Amino acid sequence: MQCQLALFSTKRSEHPKRPKTFDSTSHRNKPVSQPLDFSLSISDHTAPVRDWNKKNLIGLSKQQLKEELETIAGTKSYTADQIWRFIYQRGVTSIDDMLNIPKGIKDDLKEKYTIDYGRVVSDLLSPTDGTRKLLVGFKDAKAMVESVFIPMVGPRGTQCISSQVGCSLACTFCHTGTQKLLRNLTPGEIIGQYMIPAKDYGDLPLAKTTQRRVNNIVFMGQGEPLYNWRNVKQAIEILTDKDGIAMPKSKITLSTSGVASGLPKLAELGGIGLAISLHATNDRLRDEIVPINKTFPLPVLLAACKDYAKAMEGCNRDSQRITFDFQEARALAELLMDIPSHVNLIPFNPWPGSKYVSSPRDHIIGFSRIVENMGIPTTIRWPRGLDIMGACGQLRTSHEQQQQQQQ
């Protein structure tokens, strides 16, 4: 179980610097340029011609796909499995490319269905650390979300995925919290945020991939995933299906601001990493910066975390351990003493209009040492993608913000 903790202050201080590790040659087909161009689009193979009146095959469960095919003449019991593998193993974006599907069936499919990851409205690459932020649009023009690829050591990296357009929780340190909730994302819109970079980086077709570039998925983008659980769950089931993408559950982490009532449902899914955005060790402060704490105060949330850890005892160690993102070192260590946990310390990442600035670098390191010395493993998550507003807590639909500024 992970605990996320943002370290910030209302007084001005120097933002901590992170050692540069980005090798610009590792970003496939994406040259670094200045200034960054909001009109830059991803490769054409992720942007097929769209007919919004057709149903998207991306995001349908296996059972839903089989039910849809019952209306198509000539399909066999195995046709759904063939189509599933074409979409999620081979990464086809055109029904015409499903080579062993009879032409008559493909013609009927094209009348009703499409394969659409979403449209890339902007594609920004940080020349500093290689973080890549995509603004992805969907059927309704206002429904756009940001999704971020964070490169790690070597060729691999993590895709940070959004689950809602906007957010209803209004956490005071989070830029997304300033954007009202528009709607939940569908399973297909969630999966599309993985498929776009996976296809562009060569992770698809799977048969030609020796090592995934998009190696981890974190639900830490816009929105509260446990408030869109039905669609998030279906997306995770598709992402982890052994006949498709086959992403290991241990490579997926869901972050929540503290929706305690949703943890039993996540536990039923099994094997998925859990991160809790804690941010304070007392209800008074947490009520102020994470308003959902008034609904699920710390005693309720921590009790739910203990139940979750117990339910995960049969799973791998990483899914049993909860990661907490946090402040207040000694109080934090004492609070988590009875929960198998790992603490992520996240320096505050500034955004326009915020009243906070990051804590000094030496304070963050000192905080980490105190927690470590009290027996709680700790990681400092130094900022990535600051120059493109792609760091933790900075995501907000850029197009929506620009429209507001023009009005």
Q: Give start-end residues of each CATH 1.10.150.530 domain in the chain.
A: 49-115
- pLDDT score recorded for residue 258: 95
Query: Are the C-beta atoms of residues 36 and 124 closer than 8 Å to each other?
Result: yes
Domain at 2-48+116-406: CATH architecture: Alpha-Beta Barrel (3.20)
Q: Is 392 a catalytic residue?
A: yes
- pLDDT score recorded for residue 16: 39
In 3D space, the residue among 289, 298, 365, 356 whose CA is nearest the CA of residue 332 turns out to be 298
For 198, the 3-state DSSP assignment is helix
CA gap 151, 215 in Å, rounded: 10
What distance lies between CA 66 and its chain's CA centroid?
28
- pLDDT score recorded for residue 118: 94
CA gap 164, 185 in Å, rounded: 5
Beta bridge partners of 276: 3, 324
Q: How far is CA 23 from CA 140, 258, 318, 382, 392, in A?
A: 37, 36, 29, 17, 21
Please pick, among 146, 224, 328, 400, the residue that the annotation labels catalytic: 146
Beta bridge partners of 343: 3, 378
Per-residue confidence in pLDDT tens, the chain, 407 aa: 555 544 444 333 343 343 333 333 334 434 333 333 333 344 444 444 567 789 999 999 999 999 999 999 999 999 999 999 999 999 999 999 999 999 999 999 999 999 999 999 999 998 888 899 999 999 887 889 999 999 987 789 999 999 999 888 888 877 766 778 999 999 999 999 999 999 999 999 986 767 899 999 999 999 999 999 999 999 999 999 999 999 999 999 999 999 999 999 999 999 999 999 888 889 998 998 899 999 999 999 999 999 999 998 877 656 657 766 554 677 888 888 889 999 888 777 666 666 666 677 887 888 888 888 888 898 887 766 555 555 454 445 555 544 444 44
- pLDDT score recorded for residue 387: 57
Domain at 49-115: CATH architecture: Orthogonal Bundle (1.10)
The predicted model scores a pTM of: 0.79
Query: Are the C-beta atoms of residues 381 and 392 closer than 8 Å to each other?
Result: yes
Q: Is 146 a catalytic residue?
A: yes
Please pick, among 167, 174, 305, 392, the residue that the annotation labels catalytic: 392
Q: Give start-end residues of each CATH 3.20.20.70 domain in the chain.
A: 2-48+116-406
CA gap 33, 401 in Å, rounded: 24
For 404, the 3-state DSSP assignment is helix
Tell me the HSE value of 282 on the side-chain side, using a 13 A CA sphere.
6
- pLDDT score recorded for residue 56: 97
DSSP 8-class letter at 69: H
